[in-house]
């Protein structure tokens, strides 16, 4: 089993020590930081496989950190820890580019499960790709091309930075063109876990971010359309589709 490296960034010393002990017992190699001041140096010198990043920290908070990393093109997986489980923290974290979130207080076993799930999504071909008859198929729509075999989205020939969750959601929809999918189906197909109210909202955030990346922004969405009262549908040719 690969010994994945996890970096925990949190200003709570007791939580850092707890997570370092517990995650090490689960087979991870764990390092910690009290804040983000030395994060760039850590990424350069001893790059972890995943960041566990607290939202509320002195100096740059977790939201600012993940926003900066994504703006730099850094695609390292990030799980954010949110105090009180505020919906706004969760939504902002996903909008900034986090792959998952966990509300404090939490069971360390739940964090370990989230880490395994995010690493699995990041390292492996999404489950939905196995449904492709041709893994080399290029899915073209508008100014974009989705390359499942390369796990890459291009817009005007240039790579588009996506989190692992965003890529998995887009591929799940693109693999079922013109077929409406519920939020629960998207959670299962793309992320391999069941829904729930908070997870439904996370799907909405992923869709919102994807629309900003692939739509032209000159009107109603053409490719990722809402099916009111049901979910979302991918329309590859951009033709209007009446909501049902």
Rounded mean pLDDT, 221-225: 89
Q: What angle do CA 236, 238, 243 make, to 5 degrees?
A: 95
Q: Does 192 or 7 have the greater pLDDT score?
A: 7
Percent of the chain residues past pLDDT 90, beyond the cut: 23
Contact between residue 146 and residue 159 where contact means Cβ atoms under 8 Å apart:
no
Return the pLDDT at 97. Answer: 80
Average confidence score pLDDT of the chain:
81
Return the pLDDT at 49. Answer: 93
Q: Is the pLDDT of residue 166 over 90?
A: no
Contact between residue 8 and residue 31 where contact means Cβ atoms under 8 Å apart:
yes
Q: Is the pLDDT of residue 238 over 80?
A: no
Percent of the chain residues past pLDDT 70, beyond the cut: 84
pLDDT in tens, 127-161: 343 344 444 578 888 888 888 877 888 999 888 88
Which domains are present in the chain? 5-123 (3.40.50.2300), 127-234 (1.10.10.10)
pLDDT in tens, 170-193: 988 988 888 888 888 888 877 666
Burial 16-49 (b: 16+ CB within 10 A, else e): beebbebbeebebebebbbbbeebeebbeeeebb
How far apart are alpha carbons 226 and 69 in whole angstroms? 30
């Amino acid at each position: 089993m690969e010994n994945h490296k996890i970096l925990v960034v949190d200003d709570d010393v007791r939580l850092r020590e707890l997570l370092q002990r517990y995650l090490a017992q689960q087979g991870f190699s764990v390092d910690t930081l009290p804040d983000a001041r030395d994060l760039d140096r850590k990424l350069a010198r001893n790059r972890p496989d995943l960041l566990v990043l607290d939202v509320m920290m002195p100096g740059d908070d977790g939201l600012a950190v993940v926003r900066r990393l994504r703006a730099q093109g850094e695609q390292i997986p990030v799980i954010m820890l949110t105090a009180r489980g505020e919906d706004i923290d969760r939504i902002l974290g996903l909008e900034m580019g986090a792959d998952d979130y966990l509300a404090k207080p939490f069971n360390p076993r739940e964090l370990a499960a989230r880490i395994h799930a995010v690493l699995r999504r990041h390292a492996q071909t999404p489950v939905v790709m196995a449904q492709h008859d041709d893994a080399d198929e290029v899915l073209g729509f508008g100014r974009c091309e989705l390359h499942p075999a390369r796990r890459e989205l291009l817009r005007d020939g240039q790579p588009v930075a996506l989190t692992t969750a965003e890529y998995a959601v887009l591929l799940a929809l693109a693999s079922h063109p013109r077929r409406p999918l519920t939020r629960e189906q998207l959670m299962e197909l793309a992320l391999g876990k069941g829904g729930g109210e908070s997870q439904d909202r996370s799907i909405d955030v992923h869709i919102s971010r994807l629309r900003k990346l692939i739509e032209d922004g000159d009107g109603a969405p053409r490719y990722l359309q809402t099916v009111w009262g049901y979910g979302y549908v991918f329309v590859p040719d951009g033709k209007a589709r009446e909501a049902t």
